[in-house]
Structure 1
């Protein structure tokens, strides 16, 4: 009998405390969480900005050390046409192109090549190829041979390609356009 009395009393106490409005302490925790979330977000933004500055410096250093007059686009891609086409068409969005390519890391490590994988045929802006290649090709003409320095967000981003290109790594593409 006493046991059921204490069980009932315990249940009533539990029911009463669970039906109360949240205390100001809970509201304080929400404010603290919002502040913490804001601080963390600001730290991620700052870290990302620092990584972008570092990556831009690396790409600028590559261009200077190799004495190549790369042109920088608004998207951060740098391109250098080392063998311009005499009469090729300018490449535009939705145009079908074919390319021979070598994709390397800035230290010269060869990752992929059309010599082993074959020529790539695709439609500009509409197929699963690095977005930096799509964007960079639009500065070229059919018949051009060019180098594209592509920043990591337009290459393989934060995670790399899970094969040969590491995370947050800009790439160098040596391209011949057909």
Structure 2
């Protein structure tokens, strides 16, 4: 009886000391959702770029392409070199309106009122923030922002819809030091 007990203990020790085995994953995740999202966004971007190019080709005004990915032209350009463009921390007072690509007015200057913005320290949509850096006091510029430079996928959750390119006419009233 002692021999059987000792043999059982030795077998348990031998079996209990084996190294752990790696577990196999229960489910395998693939990038199929991400791949589908990338394809959908590429198609959406191509469609939006085509509509913007069509808009630009129909206009008699020559739009400048910015390095940031939007287009603009000067309605009123200040030729005075002593005036400066805003830099980090400057306070910019400006008015603007917002239109859809088809020219329909979304927000008028009266709806939005005069805005006061501290450069790069407050929330403002990307295109407007980058566009203001190109302007001097007294200038009026019309910007054409693709949706990713405007309100993007979410819109403004009011009048500006999902993935909507925008036209904004902006007038800088003043630029001052903080």
User: Please, what TM-score do these two structures have when normalized by structure 2?
Assistant: 0.76
User: Which residue among 47, 60, 63 is the counterpart of 1:67?
Assistant: 60
Task: Indicate the residue corresponding to 2:43 in structure 1.
Answer: 50
1:56 alignment partner, SS class: helix
Distance in 2, Cα, partners of 1:23 & 1:145: 65
CA RMSD, aligned part only? 2.0
Structure showing greater radius of gyration is 2
Which ranges of structure 2 fall in alignment gaps of 5 or more residues? 1-20, 174-178
CA distance in 2, matches of 1:23, 1:133: 53
Q: Which runs of 5+ in 1 are unaligned?
A: 1-20
Displaced runs of 4+ in structure 1, greater than 3 A? Answer: 21-24
Kindly state the Cα deviation for residue 126 of structure 1 after the two structures are TM-superposed. 1.9
Q: Judge conservation of contact 1:114–1:120 (CA < 8 Å) in 2.
A: no
Higher helix share: 1
Which range moved further: 147-156 or 167-176? 147-156
- In 2: Cα distance, 1:166 partner to 1:86 partner: 37
8 Å contact 2:96–2:169 — kept in the other structure?
A: yes
The match for 1:104 is 99
CA contact (8 A) 1:142 1:177 kept: yes
* Equivalence for 1:30: 27
Aligned residues: 151
TM-score by length of 1: 0.76
Alignment-derived partner of residue 76 in structure 1: 69
